[in-house]
Amino acid sequence: MRAVCVLGTGLIGGSLMRAAARAGREVWGTAASEATAVAAVADGFDVTTDTDAALARAAEADALVVVAVPLTALEPLLQRIDAVAPTCRLTDAVSVKVAVADAVAQFAPRTRYVGGHPMAGTAQSGWAAGDPDLFDEAAWVVAADDGLDLDVWRDVAELAWDCRANVVPAAVDEHDAAVARISHLPHLMAAVLASVGAGEQGDDLALALSAGSFADGTRVAGTRPELTLAMCEGNRAALLTAVDEALGRFGVMRGALASTGGLAATVNAGHEARMRWASTREPLHVPVDLGADDVFAELRELGRRGDVVEAWKH
Amino acid sequence: MRAVCVLGTGLIGGSLMRAAARAGREVWGTAASEATAVAAVADGFDVTTDTDAALARAAEADALVVVAVPLTALEPLLQRIDAVAPTCRLTDAVSVKVAVADAVAQFAPRTRYVGGHPMAGTAQSGWAAGDPDLFDEAAWVVAADDGLDLDVWRDVAELAWDCRANVVPAAVDEHDAAVARISHLPHLMAAVLASVGAGEQGDDLALALSAGSFADGTRVAGTRPELTLAMCEGNRAALLTAVDEALGRFGVMRGALASTGGLAATVNAGHEARMRWASTREPLHVPVDLGADDVFAELRELGRRGDVVEAWKH
């Protein structure tokens, strides 16, 4: 089993170290602060603040390097990778994929990079919140664009399986468009709804009358703003497309309400879409032959159908 | 205790009959279909399809008449009230208040009408779904516009308390503006979000990747469309104001995303609003002297603070 070097020991990185160690892998990593490194070492993990040393060991062991830091912290880290482990096997756990791929191409262009996005999280953060079960049955998106390194693709998929996640292959731009629609846009709409619903300070009638529809519709507006901002601002282009589609639908609905007063088109379409979501089937685990021609096209098609890659013995 | 005549035996009317009977009141009512009347009689309730007979009895007993039919079924019922019990004590349980007040002024102008809105519900409907506990601790809005009949106001408040609800006084237009913001707008935003999120049929990647933010943000799009439409379309003017505020905020956010890429203003305002909602205190039960001058102004102010009227002995 390939060794894993995890850069970053927040909720995702810390959970990943625990899950990979549980699966029997050799794991080490880096923390941004001495206090976190001490806490991780106390928990029995090999964590240091010396990024260069961790990367040198990764180059030596031909380990899979996993970047698990926020998008905004990426650039200096990629520069260290380029300096110390320039051709390493590289993946990441950042929630947007085009921006990371662009940064890798710019700052660590010789790495063998295959992007990843384990879609798991809790309201908690930091090393202490880490949980080896965090990824159980979660979708772990693995980039599937033409020309990627198949050997590293295999490494990333096997790491995901060791973390008990499902491997969902997707082109990086399709990933970003999808998460814009089903994660980032919901956060922005929740923010707008919360602001309109709460109204003016001192007029608490509306809040006093609020019930389930408002509570549910605004729940993610309770997320720490810096997390929402990092996620949404890092996916600007795809998010703009999703926002414009929502604005278009909202505007049409506004026009209907003002003219005929009829809302059936909006409400029926929304109901149909929600029913389609509710009837989403369990993903099929589809066997894939990585030696086939056009394997990435096949993988992307599999992901678009809502299916996942069947784990092979490793 | 004043007798109660309930017109309509759906979820709200049926629950109201059960709760009022449990409180020891004399209760009778009308059903739209023979089958429902038979079911209610089998459950021990005095329910008929003969609306005129029920209203004649209400006139004779000086009962409180409660309209618990959909807004769209209001007009013919008010015409029967005007014909048979033209000066009765009248309230209702419809989810919008200006439209009902307008209809009463037009079709049953001699009634002593004080609007009401018990804010309770489940996904179920019909007589069989009725539950005497439905209103426990729920907000029961009672119209508090100047010039209403104080004696009937007292009747409506006492009925609400007998149903174990909290009495929230509000001007009818303030009620409609509030529910537009915290109930009707959330339904429309959920519909738009569901449509954008689900995307094109056949591209299931986004739905496969959806998690809590999309599930919560679209939950009420699963409501039966006819219920959402009846609610939203009946509150057209107030809803248009809420929709325009949401569109304005959405447009500003879109501009920021496209120009600087910064979403902090939107996300921070939404977070602050959600935190304000989350910290909403329990309502104070405030004693009110119905004999005071300007009592309706006092009641409206109390409702705007998020408080409720303290029940008196009755």
- Average pLDDT estimate for B30-48: 97
Residue A227 has a pLDDT of 86
Minimum distance, in Å, between the CA of residue A233 and any CA atom of chain B: 6
Query: Which member of B201, B225, B266 has the closest CB to residue A267?
Result: B225
Minimum distance, in Å, between the CA of residue A4 and any CA atom of chain B: 26
Q: Please list the alpha-helical segments (H only) found in B85-165.
A: 98-107, 150-162
Residue A124 has a pLDDT of 76
Residue A251 has a pLDDT of 97
User: Given a cut of 90, is residue B183 above it in pLDDT?
Assistant: yes
Question: Residue A314: pLDDT band by 50, 70, 90 thresholds?
Answer: confident
Return the residue matching tokens 């590293």.
A152
Query: Which member of A209, A225, A258 has the closest CB to residue B179?
Result: A209
- Average pLDDT estimate for A118-126: 82
Go through B267-300 and write b for each residue having 16 or more CB atoms within 10 A of its CB, e for each that does not.
bbbbbbbbebbeeeeebeeeebeeeeeebbebbb
A261 to chain B: which residues are within 8 Å by CB?
A: 233, 236
Neighbours of B128 (CB within 10 A): 12
Query: Which member of A186, A236, A270 has the closest CB to residue B214?
Result: A186
Strand order from edge to edge, sheet including B285-286: B116-118, B139-143, B166-170, B308-309, B285-286
Residue of A nearest to B184 (CA): A213
Q: Which of the residues B231, B239, B241, B271 would you substitute to probe the A interface, choosing the one with the greatest number of A C-beta atoms within 10 Å?
A: B271
Neighbours of A118 (CB within 10 A): 25
Whole-angstrom Cα distance, residue A292 to residue B177? 61
pLDDT digits (tens, 9 = 90+) for A132-191: 999 999 999 999 999 999 999 999 999 999 999 999 999 999 999 999 999 999 999 999
Residue B203 has a pLDDT of 78
Residues 44-73 of B with CB under 8 A from A: none
Half-sphere exposure in the Cβ direction for B18 (13 Å, CA): 19
Instruction: Report yes or no on whether pTM surpasses 0.95.
Output: no
The mean pLDDT value of chain B amounts to 95
ipTM: 0.90
Residues 87-146 of A with CB under 8 A from B: 119, 139, 141
B210 to chain A: which residues are within 8 Å by CB?
A: 182-183, 277
B249 to chain A: which residues are within 8 Å by CB?
A: 192, 195-196
Residue of A nearest to B269 (CA): A195
Rg (CA), chain B: 21
Instruction: Test A264 with B212 for CB contact under 8 angstroms.
Output: no
Instruction: Test B213 with A264 for CB contact under 8 angstroms.
Output: no
Instruction: Test A263 with B139 for CB contact under 8 angstroms.
Output: no
User: Given a cut of 80, is residue A109 above it in pLDDT?
Assistant: yes
How many contacts does A have with B, using Cβ atoms within 8 A? Answer: 345
Whole-angstrom Cα distance, residue B31 to residue B13? 9
Whole-angstrom Cα distance, residue B94 to residue B100? 8
Q: How, if at all, do strands B4-7 and B47-48 pair?
A: unpaired
Whole-angstrom Cα distance, residue A197 to residue B249? 12
Query: Residue A170: beta bridge partners?
Result: A143
Q: Domains plus CATH for chain A?
A: 4-170+282-309 (3.40.50.720), 175-278 (1.10.3660.10)
Q: Is B171 helix (H, G, I), strand (E, B) or coil?
A: coil
Q: Phi and psi of B169, rounded to 5°?
A: -80, 140
Residue A211 has a pLDDT of 81
Give percent of chain B with pLDDT exceeding 70: 99
Whole-angstrom Cα distance, residue A103 to residue A241? 22
Contact indicator for A144, A299 with CB cutoff of 8 Å: yes
Instruction: Test B271 with A201 for CB contact under 8 angstroms.
Output: no
Q: Is B224 helix (H, G, I), strand (E, B) or coil?
A: coil
Q: Please list the alpha-helical segments (H only) found in A212-308.
A: 212-217, 225-233, 236-259, 264-278, 295-304
DSSP calls for A10-31: SHHHHHHHHHHHHTT--EEEE-
Instruction: Test A271 with B303 for CB contact under 8 angstroms.
Output: no
pLDDT digits (tens, 9 = 90+) for B69-94: 989 899 999 999 999 999 999 999 99
